[in-house]
Amino acid sequence: MLSELCDNFLPGLITSSKLLVYTTTSECDCRHGYTKARRRGYAQSLCQQVYSDLVVLIDSWSIPEVFQPGDASAREQEEQEELCDTLSRLYDVIRPEEEEVRAFVEQGGQQRPLVVTGGPCTGKTVLLAHCAQQMRSWLPDSDPVVITYFCNLSINPTPAHLLSCLCYQLEARYHSEASSEQSTIHMDNHNRSNNPRDLNPDCHSTSNVCSPELKQRLSCLLTSMPSAERPLVLILDGLAHMENNAGAQIAESLPSPLPPNVKLVVTVSPDLLQAINPPRSAAQGVSEGGEGSGYVCVQLGPVDRRQCVKMLESLLRTSGRRVTSGQQALVNRALTACRLTLYARLLHLHTSLWHSDSDVTESSLPASVHSSISALLDHLEQKHGSSVVSRAVSYLTLSRTGLTEAELADLLSGDPRVQTEHVPRLPQVAVETLLLDLRRFLIGRTVAGSLVLLWVSRHFKLVVAKRCLASREVSREVHSAMADYFMGRLSREPRGVETNSQPFVFYSPFKDVGRVNLRKVLELPHHLRESGRCGELERELLMSLGFHQAMVRAGLLGELVAMLEKEEGSPHLVFSRERALLAGILKSSACSLQSSPLHLPSVMETNLLPYLDVFPGLEGYARELRQQRRRRGSGLGVLLCPAQLTVPSIRCLTFNAKTENVSVKEAAEAESGIVAQVLDDGTAWIWKGFGCDVVRLSLSCEQKELTFTGIKSSGHFILFFTQCDKLLLWDVTGPERFLQVTGHAKALESSRITANTVEGFVASQKSVFMWWKGESFVSAFDVSNETMTHFQCQSAVTCLACSSRGSYVYCGQEEGTVSILDTNTGSVLGACSNTNHNAIKSIIPCGDEWEMTCVDRTGRVSLWDVASKTNPPRLVAESFIGGESNNVLNIDYSHGSGTLLMCQSHQVVLWDTCAWELWDQFLAPAGKTFAQALLSRGGHLFLALLDSCPSVLVWRVSTGQCVLSLETNRPPHTLLSAASSVICVDAGCRVTAWDSEMIDAAGAAPRMGLGVKEVAVERTGECFYTSDGSHAVWRWRLESGLPHANFVHRGAVEKLRLSPDGVHLVTLSAGDIYVWRTGSGQNILRISGSAATDVLIAPNGSFGVSVSERGLSRVWKLAHGSVVCSIHVYLSDAKVSPASTFLIGCRRGDLLAASLWSGSINKRFSRAEASDRVVAFHTLSEHPDFVVVMAASGAVYTWNMPEETVYRHFQLPCRFRCQPRDFQVSSDGSYALLSTENQAVSLLDLSQVRLCSFKAEGPVIQVHLDKTGRYVAYAYRATPSARVKNCTRCPHAEALLAVVRLADGERIGSARLAKSPTALVVCERRRVLVGFEDGSVGVYSILDVVTGGEESLGCRENASGRSKRRAFDRPLSCSARASANITWP
């Protein structure tokens, strides 16, 4: 036997498994044996060798990266199928109910679900798992699709997640071409994520309520996909054991009646039957209980006693045990009292401990499942120790998804309570022995790629919780220990040094790929939350880049967003707004992140940095982004964020999510930010702001629930109107107490009106003043004593305004009259009327209430002096802006800036009430009309809704530019301005909220009027210049991220040139040449008569060259504009030689060099063939005598101008062609950029005479070759994947910036660009400047440790964007000379 082991078995095992073998030759003296020192030396050398071998094996292990976004759903599908197979093996007793299930499945035309119900431990789960395995044999004439889902064992047991997974599985299992072709955005939502909320902002709510869209999608799939040839059998187990009534929500989400060819089998408890369309008569067995029954029912009861006895005998026989006849009698009586298979399994453990002479009585056997489990734990504690067993079962019970054997062993070894019994460490064999004793009551299942152990029945958890986790403190202690373990804090060295053995991602040392630590991702948040360590949960996970990367890489983007939103209501978390922003960014970038998870740092940096001034709590997140880039040793950092086109929403809520086809009737907001809605179904809903969920307002009167018909708000009061003519007033600053407004009944009767005709009200301290539609009186309700008084006016009241103390009320009326009422006496103090007698639309007391501004319905604005309440008001000023429409839609006023906004359908008019002058008029875009407009909080922006426009547009008041578009999912209905947010209510009962400070920050971002055309950078890199084809050139400071000088010309700027020393700026505008001093902004020269089409500056900074296509090209002195010489020949694509001696350019296919001193043509490039014309050339600053020339034939030459010699270097292959517009050469001549065609950047390595091509993931938009020849930067429009193309909310072609190191072709990094780039420059300080189509600029830094480069962050370490103090300030304006001071003939 030993010979066989040594000679055959072990060598064969070693060879087949490629195992490492360690051999040693004993040098021990057989007479003395092994000495202690020799044993120690052998052990140390063996350990060192094994350790080094393990390191080599780990380093050589190729860690695959999981990038596919559908992998999370596919992984869970496989795990559910494996779990079904595992549970089916527990089917030890054949149940008669199996035939009833079979009969239901085989029966055709059945469109009702089969409900399997029964008491605890009756085996419902095991029965359905077994039936799922039999479906194909039961339906031999078809190819059934069987989907089994154990809901309570899901890693994310929420209704939205479960329905989303069902949608994914339906598509994955049927995988028909028609399905993929007809896939819509909703289909894409469910495919790409385990949670639909990551792509579908409609569903973002902390309530986990399934959205109507998700229900509709599931119903559509169930209707369209199953067929007679491929029917669907859907088995849902564990609905009754889900938390927060989730099981009932899932049951209600399933269509009723079921579509044809769909069989639904569910297990529920009796109290859940009502959720499944309850029958009109009771159903027994498979009897359908009449035509009105909503389901078919199978009642699962206890097992036959004889079956339990046979099962126990089989288990005893398998374990080599048996009992005496007397003992068997006791067992039979016990099984008669409790006929459950789990109880029989537990009895097997107890009876296997008996001996033939054991004295057993009826009390020796526990009477129930729970007492049997408790007896089992007693036995294990006696055998293994109480602390070991108690902690082991506690860890298994409180784990979220189960524990692996290694995790359980580590937890027990590091547990202080266990260490007191096993000093210093619990042996591994003790853990294995304990698990061996528990093997019959633990099942192994795969979760996130790891084999974990969990209880075979939930009743083990119930017993352990009662026995070992009776107090909340103990549970928190166990959760805390598990949190420490998954945070890597249990691996303690002897000196107490902690090591992080639990990173979020395990990276390979050779590749920038890794495998996500899914065990940590799934378990750690749960244990931190349950242990009460909310601060760590927020800092270490919710606001951690590492955790976000792990979640996104694992395909759990939806769950990450849900976590960020779910924790908003926790009082222990302090960064709710910051987390809302992170969730908003992830939602808005969901499509691109799911197709490219590794781009998360770039996405977050681009979208987060502009708002760091608003959210300083995210500085740590931004710091983590930079630190990760430095650790990686390469990447693109953001130094200056470009202006944003939109602002991510920080909250998206659904009102009345359970009802479809319901629209908003009216919405209002209070000063504190509380939003209320009344829907057309008569329900009212309230949202109290961030950290709160939407709640339905339910009030009863005379045992009848009130139906709401309208809502108004003013100050901190909200007024609700009801169908029964009741008015309910709510002071949102106090408790949730609704005060019924009394005293208006008499007025209602006399005027024959209803409470629904209340036009509005104004609030002042403890009083509210209401006016009624078409009525000439005002009702004042005193909140303190609940009394109502009425004030009479001359005509129908149209608006009200109240003084700050409530002493006076200003009543605007239908005939253009304004009456001032004393609220104490009810007397009229004065009245005034406008000249056209149009109805007053709004009244604004201003100037410490000494003045009153009135706006009538036609837009006429009048200012009245009302300082003296004893004299009639005096008209100070009146103005009217005519237009196409005479209707004023709404009015808004900013007290801080003194700005009055008046919105009409064709225009928005702004008035400066401080100087009382018209500020500006904004006309509606062509073909559009305004519906509503509001001022931003600071008054620097205004937001507007346009008819048939799905977005909220934002204009900057100072420039008139439309700077932002706030995206909504459905056409907006109402725009509200709350305390710190802007809220849009759409027609579909959804509320989208944006942070007001974020809107101000994004709207304040500087941008030119048009797309950036040219960028010039000073050699120091501290300042740069941009032009957009308008009259202006901006000078920017990188340190502040703001333009600080604006060089204004008399015409559109065509060319922009900066001298090498940065002292002079030369521009070409409307045929005139302008020379500016950059330091002072002075326009020292304006030269006319040049007829120039281009201007150049010599490298020595002394001369300028004006190139004219139809006239003379002139060389002139930069300091005073005097002409040195004229060049009579037009040279296209002209460049000044590095030595500042020649002007080099092309003419009719030839390359010529004209002297800058005489203007004559002194040099000519000699072509090898007369027909081979020059298409491109470039000078070399490091080799001033040489020019690189590209010929049309593809030949590459170097031309030595002084010696007039030509050297042919290379002939391009036929498939490579140089594009003259792209041709660039590095200063040392090592690399030449040839073209950007075919979605690739093609270069020529002149030093090694080879072609290089870098594939881009889409068409290249802009490209620039670094002068030093180290990098090439290019912007391209990424071609979206097939899935992203279907997403209507994601850009179809997203622009990206990439930088490639030319030495080895390695991509240094990439960055997401929010919009299309129009200009790109790589400057000497490893910075990339990008100009965009909206006139903004972004600056990115290159970090590359390979070439010795470091990321330069000294100027703007925070990279946060802009100074708040100067955010809306205009740059210093430097005006050009009114006329030319030099004229050339």
For residue 925, whether the previous peptide bond is cis, meaning omega lies within 30 degrees of 0, is: no
Task: Indicate the helix (H) or strand (E) that contains 87.
Answer: helix 71-88
Q: How does pLDDT run across 1344-1364, given as a tens digit for each residue? A: 887 665 444 433 444 444 444
Residues 816 and 813: their CA atoms lie apart, in Å, by 6
pLDDT in tens, 162-213: 888 889 889 888 874 333 333 333 333 333 333 333 344 333 333 445 667 7
Four-point Cα dihedral 1201, 1204, 1208, 1209, nearest 10: -40
Residue showing tokens 């690189």:
1188
Distance CA(1046)–CA(1044), nearest Å, equals 7
Share of the chain above pLDDT 70, in %: 86
- In angstroms, the CA 148 to CA 151 distance is 9
Query: DSSP label at 1170?
Result: T
Q: Quote the DSSP letter at residue 839.
A: P
Return the pLDDT at 872. 85
Which DSSP helix (H) or strand (E) runs through 994? strand 990-995
Q: Identify the weakest region by mean pLDDT among 287-296, 579-588, 962-971, 1223-1232.
A: 287-296
Whether the CB-CB separation of 1080 and 1041 falls below 8 Å is answered with no
Tens-place pLDDT, residues 1043-1082: 989 999 999 999 999 999 999 999 999 999 999 999 899 9
Question: pLDDT: is 428 or 1281 the higher one?
Answer: 428
Query: pLDDT category, 125, cuts 50, 70, 90?
Result: very high
* Cβ atoms of 922 and 935 closer than 8 Å: no
Phi, psi of 83 (to 5 degrees): -65, -40
Closest CA to 387 of 435, 436, 422: 422
pLDDT of residue 525: 93
pLDDT digits (tens, 9 = 90+) for 1013-1054: 999 999 888 899 999 999 999 999 988 888 989 999 999 999
Residue of 638, 624, 626, 637 lying closest to 543 (CA atoms): 624
Rounded Cα distance between 972 and 125, Å, is: 47
778-809 residue pLDDT tens: 999 988 888 888 888 889 999 999 987 788 89
How far is Cα 959 from Cα 1030, in angstroms, rounded to an integer?
14
Number of helices (H), then strands (E), belonging to the chain: the values are 32, 77
Environment class of 179 (CB within 10 Å of its CB; exposed 0-12, middle 13-18, buried 19+): middle
Lookup: tokens for 733: 């600053």
Could you report how far apart the first and last alpha carbons of the chain are, in Å? 113
Token pair listed for 500: 């992080």
Q: Given the structure tokens 């939103």, which residue do they identify?
A: 565
How far are the Cα atoms of 626, 1268, 1308, 1310, 1340 from residue 1346, in angstroms, in the given order?
Answer: 17, 15, 10, 17, 18
Greatest mean pLDDT among 262-276, 650-664, 1163-1177 lies in: 1163-1177
With CA atoms as reference, report the closest residue to 389 among 404, 401, 374, 400: 374
Alpha-carbon span 807 to 1173, nearest angstrom: 89
Q: What is the DSSP string of 1094-1146?
A: EEEE-TTSSEEEEE-SSS-EEEEETTT--EEEEE-S--EEEEE-TTSSEEEEE
Q: Is the pLDDT of residue 572 over 70?
A: no
- The strand pair at 664-669 and 1195-1200 is best described as unpaired
Give residue 948's pLDDT.
85
Q: In what order do the strands lie in the sheet with 695-697?
A: 664-669, 675-679, 684-687, 695-697
**Mean pLDDT across 249-262:** 86
Would you state the structure tokens that stand for residue 60, as one six-digit string? 């050589």
- Which residues, including other chains, have CB under 8 Å from residue 985's CB and lie 6 or more apart? 664, 667, 675, 677, 972, 973, 974, 975, 976, 991
The whole-number pLDDT of residue 333 equals 87
What are 1100's two structure tokens?
């020595």
- Alpha-carbon gap, residue 86 to 67, rounded angstroms: 29
**Nearest by Cα to 1086 from 1113, 1067, 1112:** 1067
Backbone angles phi, psi at 396, to 5 degrees: -65, -35
What is the predicted pLDDT for the residue at 68?
Answer: 47
Residue 465: pLDDT band (50, 70, 90) is very high
Highest mean pLDDT (candidates 22-31, 84-93, 266-275): 84-93
Beta strands in 1031-1097 (DSSP E): 1032-1037, 1042-1048, 1053-1058, 1064-1069, 1072-1077, 1083-1088, 1094-1097
Q: 395-446, pLDDT tens digit by residue?
A: 999 999 999 999 999 999 888 888 765 556 788 888 999 999 999 999 999 9
Quote the longest CA-to-CA distance of the chain.
Answer: 129
1198: confidence class by pLDDT, cuts 50, 70, 90: very high
Q: 1370 vs 327, which has greater pLDDT? A: 327
Strands 907-912 and 899-904: antiparallel
Question: Would the pLDDT of 748 be above 60?
Answer: no
SS3 701: strand
Confidence of residue 270 (pLDDT cuts 50, 70, 90): low
C-alpha–C-alpha distance, residues 1024 and 698, integer Å: 61
Q: How many CA atoms lie within 13 A of 613 on its CB side?
A: 22
Give dist(CA 838, CA 886) in Å, integer.
11
Q: Is pLDDT above 90 for 498?
A: no
pTM equals 0.85
Pull the structure tokens for residue 713.
Answer: 């708000």
Residue 1124 CA, chain-centre distance (Å), reads 61
Query: Are 322 and 299 in contact, with CB atoms under 8 Å apart?
Result: no
Residues 1115-1163: tens digit of each pLDDT: 999 988 999 999 999 999 999 999 999 999 999 889 999 999 999 999 9
- Angstrom distance (rounded) from CA 1114 to CA 1125: 6
3-state secondary structure of 409: helix
Phi-psi region of 1028 (alpha: psi -120 to 50; beta: other; left: phi over 0): alpha
Instruction: Compute the mean pLDDT over every residue in the chain, rounded to the nearest whole number.
Output: 83
With a cut of 60, say whether residue 233 has pLDDT above it: yes
pLDDT at res. 185: 32
Residue 45 and residue 51: Cα distance in Å, rounded?
Answer: 10
φ/ψ of residue 1221, rounded to 5: -70, -20
Q: Please write the tens of the pLDDT for every residue from 946-998.
A: 998 889 999 998 888 899 999 887 888 899 988 788 999 887 778 888 999 99
Name the least confident of 601-605, 652-656, 924-928, 1008-1012: 652-656
